[in-house]
Structure 1
Amino acid sequence: MTIMSNDHVYNAIIIGAGYSGLGQGAQFARDGIDNFLILEKEDQLGGVWRDNTYPGAACDTQSVIYCFSYFLHLGVSRMYAGREELLGYLNALADEYGLKDYLRTGQHVTSAVWDETDKVWALTTKEGTRYRSRALVPAWGQLGTPNIPNFPGLSTFEGISFHSAEWRHDVDLTGKRVGSIGAAASAVQYVPEVAEVASHLSVFQRSANYILPRNQQVFTEEELASFQRNPETYRQLRKSIHNEREAGFERTRRQTDAAAEGMRLAREHLENHIQDPVLREKFTPDYDFGCKRILRSDDFYPTFNRENVSLVTEGIERITPRGIVTRDGVEHEFDVLVFGTGFQSQAFQAGMEIIGRDGVSLDERWGNAPEAYLGMSVDGFPNMFILYGPNTNLNHHSIVAMIEAQNRYIRQGVDYLGADEQNVLDVTPSTLRTFNVQIQDELSKSAYSSDCSSWYKNEDGKVINNWSGTVAEYHALAAELNLADYGIIGDAEVAAELDLAGYGAS
């Protein structure tokens, strides 16, 4: 492989061109930082909205809060937008802020190594290109690496199989016997679509989910015209939904009245659509509300009233050439298997090797318990800021609200690094330790820590994906880059001279 070296040192290199990476680029552009790149391994931007093309793919958060506050999605057609509209929004964001000038597609970064002498990150791509940057901004996300469990006999299946995030559009499901392994966030969207064409669809559910109605709202032409003519009407709707979702955080606290209300609403939604008492029981969760991701769907439950749709709750024993054998000994025959089995949500590095100070890899530093100060900074990995990193996921609100706070914080860090080539930001171990102890204590009181199997927790039961509080609480913590958190004391005057908003020193 020929290595092409780029000796130019960038102020920042962002890895990934989804919501968080493009949001960071837009924040840089808005604040006059132009010496940066966005490296994307695929041939176009979009992140999960580029990759997830399955039938029915849509956002399960209201669209009016699933956009950046400075670039409203005024043309959105409905409250829960589909995949095409969200991808269109990201392209419009990139066009508005000229991000395509900074975007390099087909650049799969495989390693990033901290250079202590030059105080830069040295990046190498699979394609053989090297880059150097003062700041490293990984924007991998938490739900980008498809996960297919290693079922016994998986390789023997003679039909067609694929993960929902790698949908085979060349496979016509019309008249086919289809098995969906999984019944969670992606499945509740594609199952109703597949049921319309399959001769029979069997949905394999490991555990039931709490599902609330979406109550989809399609905006009228008059409403859309009002959004465009007077964006304040959109902002007022956005504020109302923001407040409603923030108040919904109480539902994630264990054994609260709000959680009981959430359970009641989910049970009511189930009972409104499923009359069969046996099927109702199979769809009723046996764990605390909020322990798993809360789903929203108007058409998932009604799908199971169709004669060509079955729910299978017996565990999967093995996969055979003809289909699936469940633990009760029954063989279910299929032409196509769809794996709605989620993602490697704790693979925060997306297979990339990151080497920090003293040759320590991020894998070694983390083990099976990823942690980062504010979800962004890891001790021993200077000038690295992770977007949508450990303990920043939400179950009650839009992740874009978290990303926007991170984008502003990281811009402050890049400003500080750009002021002097000797400046380094390496969060102190005590800062990270204190932060992590506090949020883990708070998480212990939440439904996320209760007794269920969820992608929020590692194998030891530690919640490593979710944030412990509200969006407002996170914004308050991430509002200012405090140099003391990075062991830098007495630079307040320097920060003032640089006129860099947000710096503080104790």
Structure 2
Amino acid sequence: MTQHVDHLVVGAGFAGLAAAIKLDEGGEHDFLVIEKGGDVGGTWRDNTYPGAACDVPSQLYSYSFAPNPDWSMSFSPQPEIQAYIQRVARESGTLDRFRFGVELLEATWREAEQHWAVRTSDGDYTATTLVSGAGGLSEPQLPDIEGIEEFAGATFHSARWDSGVDLTGKRVAVIGTGASAIQIVPELAKVAGHLDVYQRTAPWVIPRNDRTYTAVERFAFHHLPGLQRLYRTAIYWGRECYVPAFTKEPRLAAPAKALALANIRRAISDPELRAKVTPDYRIGCKRILISNAYYPALAADHVELVTDRIARVTPTGVVTADGTEREIDVLVVATGFHTTDQPIAHRIHGRGGRSLGETWARQGMSAYKGTTVHGFPNYFQIVGPNVGLGHSSMVFMIESQVAYVTDAIATMRRDRYAALEPSAAAQQRWTDDVQERMEGTVWSAGGCASWYLDEHGNNTTLWPRATFTFRRQTAAFDVAAYDVQGPRADTDGATTTPEEIPA
């Protein structure tokens, strides 16, 4: 039997939970959140590797409508963030409309019925709107290395950590030197008998200015909520000061570069190792990482940084291009996620049956305001194309998008629209503007290859402006940019085509 809901939300991380809460607050109570995992949390549920922590201060990396006075540190570890999300979910009164262990298999827009037909691992649904909160950092990307499937020891991705494997005294290899790897490596170095770290590109790593909140501060957060808002505001504007260095004038990043180079000098005395870990591209081109422990771990006697290309993996070790084989017991893969080729996009079929994955493969990832896509009526994507950040909190962007989505749904109900989608012209103007602004940014002209770029060479991941600009542009639903279908109060099933959008 097929069940109908007004709104079907996919994913129960920060995005899906925020959508549920704000739908409920807006009077849209007939919704369902499906989540293939067993709990809320998304990224913070799945990434349980040793050392997992946020690289944005938690006062900002949290919902504005649900402050947490109990953060123990300025950069909170994974268990605290997951516990925070669980608490917000419990207190929201929406968990009765969450279904865990349910995976989206296929969603197809039915033009005649003006709704989405959705197949899941636990039954079929129809929904007036489909909201994806699956996120861009949810599907691990495995490296294409010859023989990796034949390795006889334990192998796991950083986002699928196997805590049942005892690493004490083992020979361990880590492939990758990104944000997860630099948190994992120092922890593994504490227990492994020998650790090999395979680096393709050296990251820029600045010090992690972390600290434990004092008892006085935590008391004040509980009893003087205005003080916590002040902390959050100060952190927000401090982070926004980074934007010009990324987007306008890369030379403004000179202080960050100096910090990163000093970070290397403090921890590493060996000239050869220093050379290996010093990037040869402009800082900011790839994600800037933060750690006080990564370089000291690499300098340890039982840790080797390997920069030769990996040729293949054997049942007992890793072979590099120079023919050297390093024997290992455990292989840890920290090679990131599918961000510009999201697997869920191939399961969502819009008008005419074409999947979102096919559409984006042909023209590159594109969405109006990072949220809606021409040809996919009543579909909303949280953390869509060009919504990502390299400097600040994604929760801020998520809240901005959720406000836009809930206003769109309120508009549909008020004006009796059965369906809406951005016009092709509006979406193209938005995309052209974003890509034009991307030219000259450090991400496009910084001399590196990164996961920000798609197969067409376009940065379809990051937002190239200040975050307050994005919030302003998503503050209210702009129906003039949309093709809408009735019924409406003053028409009978008519289609309205938008006029030119004002600049």
Name the TM-score class by shorter chain: over 0.9
Structure 1 position 131, deviation (Å): 1.1
Please say which of residues 357-366 and 383-392 is displaced more in the overlay: 357-366
- Which among 287, 307, 310 is matched to residue 313 of structure 1? 307
How does 1:20-99 map onto structure 2 within 5 Å? 20-99=15-94
Structure 1 position 229, deviation (Å): 0.7
Match of 2:497 in 1: none
Q: What does the per-residue CA deviation read over 1:451-497, in whole Å, with 9 as the maximum and x for residues that have no partner?
A: 311110012211111111111110111111111110359x9999xxx
Paired letter, 1:172: D
Match of 2:450 in 1: 454
- Which among 225, 232, 250 is matched to residue 231 of structure 1? 225
CA contact (8 A) 2:385 2:462 kept: yes
Cα separation, 2, equivalents of 1:241 and 1:389? 25
Q: What does the per-residue CA deviation read over 1:391-434, in whole Å, with 9 as the maximum and x for residues that have no partner?
A: 10000110111000001000011112233654321100000000
CA contact (8 A) 2:350 2:356 kept: yes
* Residues 1:296 and 1:223: Cα distance change in structure 2 (over 3 Å): same
Cα separation, 1, equivalents of 2:417 and 2:306? 60
How does 1:148-167 map onto structure 2 within 5 Å? 148-167=142-161
Match of 1:275 in 2: 269
Structure 1 position 99, deviation (Å): 2.0
- Which among 457, 472, 478 is matched to residue 474 of structure 2? 478
How does 1:79-228 map onto structure 2 within 5 Å? 79-127=74-122, 129-228=123-222
CA contact (8 A) 1:134 1:417 kept: no
Paired letter, 1:34: H
Cα separation, 2, equivalents of 1:167 and 1:364? 31
CA contact (8 A) 2:106 2:119 kept: yes
Structure 1 position 255, deviation (Å): 5.1
Structure 1 segments (4+ residues) deviating >4 Å: 491-494
After superposition, the CA RMSD in angstroms is 2.0
Structure 1 position 170, deviation (Å): 0.9
Cα separation, 2, equivalents of 1:208 and 1:154? 23
CA contact (8 A) 1:11 1:418 kept: no
Asked if 1:332 is matched to 2:332, the reply is no
How does 1:362-381 map onto structure 2 within 5 Å? 362-367=356-361, 369-381=364-376
Paired letter, 2:2: S
* Residues 1:133 and 1:421: Cα distance change in structure 2 (over 3 Å): farther
Under a length normalisation based on structure 2, what TM-score does the superposition of the two structures give? Answer: 0.94
Match of 1:429 in 2: 424
Paired letter, 2:367: A
- Which among 381, 384, 388 is matched to residue 379 of structure 2? 384
The 3-state SS of whatever aligns with 1:63 is coil
Match of 1:5 in 2: 2
Cα separation, 2, equivalents of 1:408 and 1:63? 21
CA contact (8 A) 1:483 1:505 kept: no
Under a length normalisation based on structure 1, what TM-score does the superposition of the two structures give? Answer: 0.93
CA contact (8 A) 1:143 1:345 kept: yes
Cα separation, 1, equivalents of 2:484 and 2:107? 25
**Length, aligned pairs only:** 491
Paired letter, 1:66: Y
Match of 2:236 in 1: 242
Structure 1 position 277, deviation (Å): 1.6
The 3-state SS of whatever aligns with 2:380 is coil
Asked if 1:290 is matched to 2:284, the reply is yes
Unmatched 5+ stretches in structure 2: 491-499
Please say which of residues 341-350 and 112-121 is displaced more in the overlay: 341-350
Asked if 1:441 is matched to 2:436, the reply is yes
Cα separation, 2, equivalents of 1:207 and 1:257? 22
The 3-state SS of whatever aligns with 2:481 is helix
CA contact (8 A) 1:182 1:339 kept: yes
Structure 1 position 447, deviation (Å): 1.1
Cα separation, 2, equivalents of 1:317 and 1:29? 53
Match of 1:501 in 2: none
